[in-house]
Amino acid sequence: MKIVVDAMGGDYAPQAVVEGVTLAVKELDVEIALVGPKDVVQSELNRCGCPEDKVEIIHASEVVAMDEPAITPLRKKKNSSISVGINLLKESGYDAFISAGNTGAVVAASTINLGMLEGVERPAIGLVIPNLKKLSFLIDVGANAEAKPEHLLQSALMAKIYAREVLGIESPTIGLLNIGEEAGKGGNLAKEAYKLMEGRIKNFIGNVEANEVYTGKSHCIVCDGFVGNIVLKVSEGFVESAGKLVKREIKKSPIAMLGAFLMKIGMGDIRKLVDYSEYGGAPLLGVNGVVMISHGRSSPKAIKNAIRATKREIEHNILAEMRKELNKSYCPQQD
């Protein structure tokens, strides 16, 4: 198994990425192809003391910055680590591509260069999130900001396959993220998607309100990429802002400071309970290849966990399962 990793993707690249890769090849049974400027990557590998036999370097002279347009790897920077990495996926011997870089650029390059799976019109990014029971799968968190009802149906089908094959949930339930529980709630997109999903998804449990995202009411929660990205970012921002607010309050009281200290000793960092880096990456689904998108602020641990999650996808043959099942998705009354 050989996983291609974008050495230059993310706010802390290449340092955090190469450190993460080093952790991964030591702990997991994987081989990695690191894509980036050869000298830069080699010197990072040396710094990290990475086992050389598990890692090859593929040279890519350019880097797509986090704020460049999504089209950049396709037009202006064809020698970027994203372009070169995605193109490697098309060659035999490489099983997946991971990047913590510019999400829009990874989505665009994957969609155009790898193409779509049959039965899927738009890519969607899934996100494994912790909940009160165990895990939920939120899809789409940002690939397709202008979704049509059919796209949500296709996301639902992909989520079901992913949750079953990769997350090991035997018969995953599917909910539609909406602003009310009853059928007929929401805007036109939600209303139409509800009708489509009701007819074609066996374990469709109807609408799920956003306050149920973290309760585990549904295994899979489907929404368009705009709304999903808002859910993700609001949650992240909330943790950060609430953390700062609490810290400020704690500092006002010595008793509270002692309390916080004891809590940390007793149970570790609270933020770990809601830490996305535990899963490490968000699969880009619908494209004709295994692509994993990591958070821009990925730590080495997050990169390692993303490699672990990608490995699991490959082992469970996610792409073959998708190809097998999505074909029949257009027949009414089936899923």
Binding site for its own copies (CB under 8 A): 67, 104, 131-132, 142, 145-146, 177, 179-182, 186-188, 190, 209-215, 224-227, 229-242, 244-246, 249-250, 252-267, 270, 273-274
Three-state SS for 71?
coil
Give exposure, 284-300, as e/b (b: 16+ Cβ within 10 Å): bbbbbbbbbbbbbebbb
Shortest separation between residue 187's beta carbon and its own copies, angstroms: 4
Residue 313: exposed, middle, or buried by beta-carbon count in 10 A (0-12, 13-18, 19+)? buried
Shortest separation between residue 223's beta carbon and its own copies, angstroms: 8
* Rounded CA separation 135/68 (Å): 33
Other CB atoms within 10 Å distance of the CB of residue 133: 11
Q: Cβ closer to its own copies: 34 or 208?
A: 208
Q: Cβ closer to its own copies: 89 or 141?
A: 141
Q: Please, what's the largest Cα pairwise distance for the chain?
A: 65
* Rounded CA separation 177/170 (Å): 22
Q: Cβ closer to its own copies: 39 or 249?
A: 249
Measured CA to CA in angstroms, residue 141 lies from 60, 103, 123, 269, 284 at distances of: 28, 11, 11, 26, 10
Residue 180 DSSP label: S
Q: Cβ closer to its own copies: 74 or 88?
A: 74
Q: Cβ closer to its own copies: 12 or 94?
A: 12
Angle at 294 (CA atoms; ends 45, 327), nearest 5 degrees: 120
Shortest separation between residue 285's beta carbon and its own copies, angstroms: 18
Shortest separation between residue 244's beta carbon and its own copies, angstroms: 6
Q: Cβ closer to its own copies: 39 or 121?
A: 121
Q: Cβ closer to its own copies: 198 or 249?
A: 249
Q: Cβ closer to its own copies: 134 or 324?
A: 134
Shortest separation between residue 85's beta carbon and its own copies, angstroms: 22
* Rounded CA separation 21/238 (Å): 30
Shortest separation between residue 266's beta carbon and its own copies, angstroms: 3
Shortest separation between residue 260's beta carbon and its own copies, angstroms: 6
* Rounded CA separation 106/70 (Å): 8
Shortest separation between residue 312's beta carbon and its own copies, angstroms: 24
What are the structure tokens assigned to 17, written together? 């990425």
Is there a contact between 284 and 293 (Cβ–Cβ < 8 Å)? yes
Three-state SS for 292?
strand
Closest CA to 126 of 150, 155, 148, 100: 155
Three-state SS for 96?
strand
